[in-house]
Amino acid sequence: MSDATSGTPAKTRVFVVEDQPQLLKNVLKVLALFEEIEVVGSAQEGEDGVEQMVKLVPDLVLLDLELPGIDGIEVTKRLKKRVPSVEVLILTSFDDEQKVYEAMQAGASGYLVKRVGPDKIRSGIREVMAGGTVLEALIARRFWNYFQSVQAKKTQPENPWNLSELEFEVLKFVAKGLSNAEVGRVMELERRTVRTHLSHIYKKMGVNSHVDAVVLALKAGIVEL
């Protein structure tokens, strides 16, 4: 994406929600290192954060899970309901698979623990903005194992959303954790074509993100991890 007037790449507008003042200061300091990121606001509790984000409509939210009042999972649910376009990247001290599962179900597109370095945060933001899903390697396998342990039995008809063969293939690759660019390489499609197929998939399935689509497809038993 480029700025229409200057031709320079548009900055990713980021909002940060973190209840601990020193940690918030540290995160803001880290983000200030990267010229392609613009911090548009911050909050130290969930409800205030939601109201600010609805007004500002950032591109992405870096969100802690443990907050006073409503927690990060509830923040994600409320935000995605009111402003579905905003991406949510969880940055928290929690690293248990149930919290990851709940956050992803709520609409988050990624999950990092706070001990990761600045470059990991930067690459996580880039990956999510490119349409990918971010899960720290340490907890990714545990998350998918947990998901499979709670996965509903195959009680729904195969492909109940009438996805086309091409859409079905795209969804299967996304379920295996491939980014849009990687799906494009495997299927020999341009990334924007992959995004178009995904938008059609979302519309047919009644969801707003690839995470929601994969969760529904896994529950229906039409894709495997």
Within-domain flag for 139: yes
Read off the pLDDT of each residue in 121-149 and give the average, rounded to a whole number. Answer: 77
The pLDDT, as a whole number, for residue 149 is 64
Say yes or no: 62 and 139 in one domain: yes
Q: Which residue has the tokens 């606001």?
A: 41
pLDDT for res 95: 67
Question: 38-94 pLDDT, tens per residue?
Answer: 999 999 999 999 999 999 999 999 999 989 889 999 999 999 999 999 999 998 887
Residues 6+ apart with CB under 8 A from 102: 73
Q: Is residue 5 part of a domain?
A: no
Do 123 and 207 have their domain in common? no
Q: Is the domain of 169 the same as that of 89?
A: no
Q: Measure the CA–CA gap between 177 and 77, rounded to whole angstroms.
A: 22
Residues 56 and 117 in one domain: yes
User: Collapsing DSSP states into helix, strand and coil, what is residue 114?
Assistant: coil
pLDDT at 155: 44
What's the CA gap between 18 and 92, in Å, rounded?
A: 9
Is residue 172 a contact partner of residue 210, using CB atoms and an 8 Å limit?
no
Which DSSP symbol is given to 91?
Answer: E
Residue 225 in any domain: the answer is no
Which phi and psi angles does 96 have, rounded to 5°?
Answer: -95, 150
- The domain boundary, picked from 119, 146, 173, lies at 146
Quick: pLDDT tens for 195-216.
899 989 999 999 888 877 888 8
- 166 & 138 share domain: no
Q: Does 4 map to a domain? A: no
Per the prediction, the chain carries an average pLDDT of 84
Are 79 and 88 contacting, i.e. CB atoms less than 8 angstroms apart?
yes
Q: How far is CA 225 from CA 6, 15, 148, 222, in A?
A: 43, 32, 9, 10
Two tokens, residue 187: 């299927």
**CATH number of the domain bearing residue 79:** 3.40.50.2300
Residues 181 and 72 in one domain: no
pTM: 0.66
Q: Let me know whether 98 and 173 are in one domain.
A: no
Q: Is residue 2 part of a domain?
A: no
Domain hosting 216: range is 153-220
Of 128, 146, 164, which marks where a domain is finished? 146
Kindly state whether residues 162 and 135 are assigned to the same domain.
Answer: no
**Are 21 and 130 in the same domain?**
yes
| Judgement on whether residues 194 and 90 belong to the same structural domain of the protein | no
Q: At residue 88, what are phi and psi to the nearest 5 degrees?
A: -120, 125
CA atoms within 13 A on the CB side of 136: 21
* CA 151 – CA 12 distance, rounded (Å): 35
111 and 195 fall within a common domain: no
CATH number of the domain residue 171 falls in = 1.10.10.10
Joined tokens for residue 2 = 């480029």
Number of domains in the chain: 2
What is the full DSSP assignment across 2-21?
B-TTT-SBPPEEEEEE-SSH
Give the separation between CA 80 and CA 52, rounded to whole angstroms: 14
- Residue 60 inside a domain? The answer is yes
Interatomic CA distance for residues 91 and 76, integer angstroms: 13
- The answer to the question of residue 76 being in a domain is yes
> Residues 49, 91: one domain?
yes
Average pLDDT over residues 176-184: 85
For residue 149, the tally of other CB atoms under 10 A from its CB is 9
